Amino acid sequence: MPPLRTFALAAGCLLLAGQLFAAEPKHPECIAPAAPGGGFDLSCKLAQSALLNEQILSTPMRVTYMPGGVGAVAYNAVITQHPADANTLVAWSSGSLLNLAQGKFGRFDEGAVRWLATVGTSYGAIAVKSDSPYKTLADLVKALKADPSKVVIGFSGTIGGQDWMQAALIAKIAGINPRNLRYVALEGGGEIITALLGGQTQVGSTDTSDSMPYIQSGDMRLLAVFAEQRLDRPEMKNIPTAKEQGYDIVWPVVRGFYLGPKVSDEDYAWWKAAFDKLLASQEFAKLRDQRALFPFAMTGPELDTYVKKQVADYKVLAKEFGLIQ
């Protein structure tokens, strides 16, 4: 007779399989809380492809767009209008957490939703067109010191947001008042690239995953990436870090999903199990790599703890820049 442990393990597997089958959402949807083409769009489409490829979902997940406040509109809409809707995932990034730390999502804080899973991380970056006169970060800083009004920097969100913070950190280290920089606020990574390539801006404060298709096409260059060391990918190994150029700035851009606050424990468990399976898959790793993301796998309570610590850390940073009291 097989030992009791074998029966217990088999029963657990059957329970998980039954849960996955019984609770599959009928109309799965991923909300990208920005215009098409940026990092939120990338996150949703990565999950859309991977969940179908792994046969976790039997029907394709629909991707919809809800721009506004770099996530604020979607955050408030899910909490107030669809709090128990287990069909709907919403994409978030580290920038979302920075905005939450500053109270930019209105009356709701980081405890107002159910943090579900991450799918990877990219890194902040400073981008220019391929024919830009700025060949290095030093070139850009020299121009900013000479006359900051002549360099238009495109970023997603508002003053105090993630992209603004990246440029502000460079300015602070260089001895430039970040508030003297000339900014254009845009909605999402797609608009940053459009403005840069169209000549409306000279610099884009963005991230690697948004930028890589345009780097590989030859339309853009990255002056710096905000990582600890050069990124270990063939297409990224020649991009210098800000650190090696004298600017000790590291800014990972973690990407993931949350659910509404009243989604049932059963439905939440279904999604958690789905992403646990996905994140362990080699096929998912290939899809993630194709989108210039690096491994960062976290789900459930572990992710909830991470999010709340990050928000607390971002509050400290925001206070240093006088963004909150």
**Within-domain flag for 229:** yes
Q: Are residues 94 and 49 in the same domain?
A: yes
Q: Are residues 102 and 178 in the same domain?
A: no
**Within-domain flag for 2:** no
DSSP 8-state symbol, 104:
T
Polymer length in residues for the chain? 325
Tokens of 238: 């020649």
Q: Are residues 105 and 137 in the same domain?
A: no
Count of C-beta atoms within a 10 Å radius of residue 4: 8
Spell 183-216 as b/e; 16+ CB within 10 A means b: beebbbbbbbbbbbbeeebbbbbbbbbbbbebbe
Q: Are residues 117 and 169 in the same domain?
A: no
Helices 208-216 & 189-197 angle (0-180, nearest 10): 40
Please give the pLDDT value at position 2.
45
Q: Are residues 292 and 233 in the same domain?
A: no
Spell 258-290 as b/e; 16+ CB within 10 A means b: bbbeebeeebbebbbbbbeebbeeeebbebbee
Please give the pLDDT value at position 140.
97
Total domains, the chain: 2
The amino acid that residue 270 corresponds to is: W
Q: Are residues 113 and 258 in the same domain?
A: yes
Angle, CA of 251, 256 and 257, to the nearest 5°: 145
**Within-domain flag for 287:** yes
Range of the domain at 179: 123-251
Q: Are residues 173 and 247 in the same domain?
A: yes
Identify the CATH number of the domain in which residue 212 sits: 3.40.190.10
Is residue 314 within 8 A of residue 286, CB to CB? The reply is no
The amino acid that residue 167 corresponds to is: A
Q: Are residues 245 and 261 in the same domain?
A: no
Identify the CATH number of the domain in which residue 52 sits: 3.40.190.150
Please give the pLDDT value at position 5.
44
- Choose the final residue of a domain: 210, 234, 251: 251
**Within-domain flag for 195:** yes
pTM attached to this predicted model: 0.85
Distances (CA, A) of 202 to 131, 196, 241, 310: 10, 6, 20, 31
Compute φ and ψ for 201, nearest 5 degrees. Answer: -130, 160
**Within-domain flag for 84:** yes
Q: Are residues 142 and 179 in the same domain?
A: yes
**Within-domain flag for 226:** yes
DSSP 8-state symbol, 60:
P
Q: Are residues 221 and 302 in the same domain?
A: no
Distances (CA, A) of 236 to 61, 115, 129, 268: 31, 30, 16, 36
Tokens of 262: 């009243």
Q: Are residues 116 and 127 in the same domain?
A: no
Local confidence pLDDT in tens for the 325 residues of the chain: 444 444 334 434 544 444 444 479 999 999 999 989 888 999 999 999 999 999 999 999 999 999 988 799 999 999 999 999 999 999 999 999 999 999 999 999 999 999 999 999 999 999 999 999 999 999 999 999 999 999 999 998 789 999 999 999 999 999 999 999 999 988 778 889 999 999 999 999 999 988 999 999 999 999 999 999 999 888 899 999 999 999 999 999 999 999 999 999 999 999 999 999 999 999 999 999 999 899 999 999 999 999 999 999 999 999 999 999 8
- Choose the final residue of a domain: 251, 267, 283: 251
DSSP 8-state symbol, 86:
T
Tokens of 158: 């508002």
Q: Are residues 116 and 257 in the same domain?
A: yes
- Choose the final residue of a domain: 251, 269, 288: 251
**Within-domain flag for 175:** yes
**Within-domain flag for 71:** yes
CA distance 276 to 259: 16
